[in-house]
Amino acid sequence: MKTDESLIPLTPAVFYLLLALASGDKHGYQLMKQVQLDSQSQVRMGTGTLYGSLKRMLAAGLIEEAGERPDPALDDERRRYYRLTDRGRQALHAEVQRYAHVVSLAQHHRLLPKLAVEPAP
Amino acid sequence: MSPHRHVRTRMRAERIYALLLRLYPRGHQSGYGPLMAQTFRDQARDAVATSGGLGLGFWLEVLADVIRSVWRERRSAGEGAFSVTWVGKHFGVVAGLLLGGLAIVGIVLSNVVFASTESDSEYTTLYLVGYAAILLVFTMIGFVASGTPGRIRAGARAGTAAALLATALGLATFFVVDNLFLSIVSQQVDKIQGFHQSSFPTMRAYVNTELVYAVLGMLPLAAAAGAVCGAVGAVARKALRGASSAS
């Protein structure tokens, strides 16, 4: 998979936002909670930081606004949903590959035991 | 907490956050303000539901996020949190806060740390020079704030803001110092004489009443002096610009 090298490495905020969107379209507050959950509260994103990051990710073409809502009947129509673009998916893939390489290096240098990968909650 | 109080707490928080949103650059506000308000509403609703209220921790996190993101958005919008444009627009306020800060330090040092029991009349010349310097500073504030075209109203406004803020901070400091360190402050000759000539039952009552009179008298006087000096500064800038373009 080809990606724009200038995007890598991603900042923790951008990485976790892309990761959160990999499982489906989300609005701002859903993203905020998903990032906190995925990062085990290591990355706590306030509203201001969240929308600043989303603005820059939109401008970089990593995400886009989703036209349709997952469940319009249950939702406030003023909410805006975001989704990954192909470019965003590629950047996320490249970053995960980079992390995987770092993990394998750490294991090679005996800095990290072989991990049994836990399934996501 | 009752559901009614939950709603009131959330509504109050939303009003506060709406005010904080005004700190962001206009472009960011118009593009993301309603979305940010909606997300904050969700966040506050969940926090109230789980913790029963919005405590100090919640607000500290919100404030830290606002400060960080306002700084970043203003920088990326080319305004800069403390950039030349921002400072230029609010020059009077910034200068007033700086002058007020200096006043606070000066008042605490001269009244508490290195407290003197001598009468103010011993320092008349020094005070006169000090007041002249302060008026000159207000004039310079008007000069800078009036911008290249030398807008007189902008200069007067900046001078007024600076004078009012500096005076208000100075008077507030006197109020705190005089009440917290009354035993030190009450050794001043002028205070002792004034108290004996007054009909107040206690030194504290005398000092606080004098401060109220000072607030009533000095704030309008400072505003007027700041406005006049600021306008003079703006006129000077306009005149200098006229002279340089003529030559």
**pLDDT tens-digit series, residues A63-110:** 999 977 666 665 677 789 999 999 999 999 999 999 999 998 998 888
Contact B42 A29 (CB under 8 A): yes
Per-residue pLDDT 10s for chain B (247 aa) are 566 777 888 889 999 999 999 999 999 999 999 999 999 999 999 998 888 778 888 888 898 899 889 888 888 876 544 444 555 567 888 888 899 999 899 888 888 888 776 777 777 888 889 889 999 999 988 888 886 566 888 889 999 999 999 999 999 999 898 888 888 888 888 888 888 888 888 989 998 899 999 999 999 999 999 999 999 988 888 787 666 555 5
Reported confidence tier of residue A44, pLDDT bands at 50, 70, 90? confident
Q: Residues B205-212: contacts with CB within 8 Å, 24+ apart?
A: B207/B178, B207/B179, B207/B182, B208/B175, B208/B178, B208/B179, B211/B171, B211/B174, B211/B175, B211/B178
Residues in B touching A32 (Cβ below 8 Å):
39, 43
Distance of CA B88 to the CA centre of its chain: 16
Q: Mark yes or no for CB contact A49/B24 under 8 Å.
A: no
With the CA atoms of B175, B176, B180 and B182 taken in that order, what torsion angle do they form, in degrees rounded to the nearest 10?
-20
Residue of chain A whose Cα is closest to the Cα of B41: A29
Please state, in angstroms and rounded to a whole number, the distance separating the CA atoms of residues B229 and B160: 9
Determine the Cα–Cα distance for residues A103 and A100; give it in Å rounded to an integer.
Answer: 5
Query: A32 and B73 in contact by Cβ < 8 A?
Result: no
Per the CB < 8 Å rule, is B43 touching A55?
no
pLDDT at residue A72 in the model: 61
Distance CA B34, CA B11 (A): 15
Distance from CA of B36 to the nearest CA of A (A): 6
Q: Which residues of B touch A55 (CB under 8 A)?
A: 28, 31-32
- Calpha distance B135→B230 (Å, rounded): 9
Q: Residue A111 gets which letter from DSSP?
A: S
Residue B62 and residue A42 in contact, taking contact as beta carbons nearer than 8 Å: no
CA distance A58 to A76: 22
Whole-model pTM: value is 0.55
Q: Does A50 touch chain B (CB under 8 A)?
A: yes
3-state SS, B53-97, equals CCCHHHHHHHHHHHHHHHHHHHHHCCCCCCCHHHHHHCHHHHHHH
Of A28, A44, A55, the CB nearest to B39: A28
Alpha-carbon gap, residue B19 to B21, rounded angstroms: 5
pLDDT of residue B197: 87
ipTM summary value: 0.85
- Pick B43's closest partner by Cβ from A29, A49, A55: A29
Helices B26-51 and A47-59 pack at an angle, to 10 degrees, of 140
Of A48, A76, A79, the CB nearest to B36: A48
Residues in B whose CB is inside 8 Å of some CB of A read 24, 28, 31-32, 34-36, 38-40, 42-43, 61-62, 64-66, 68-70, 72-73
CB-based contact, A98 to chain B, within 8 Å: no
What is the model's pLDDT at position A107? 87
Of residues B105 and A115, more confidently modeled: B105
- Inter-chain touch B24–A48, beta carbons under 8 Å: yes
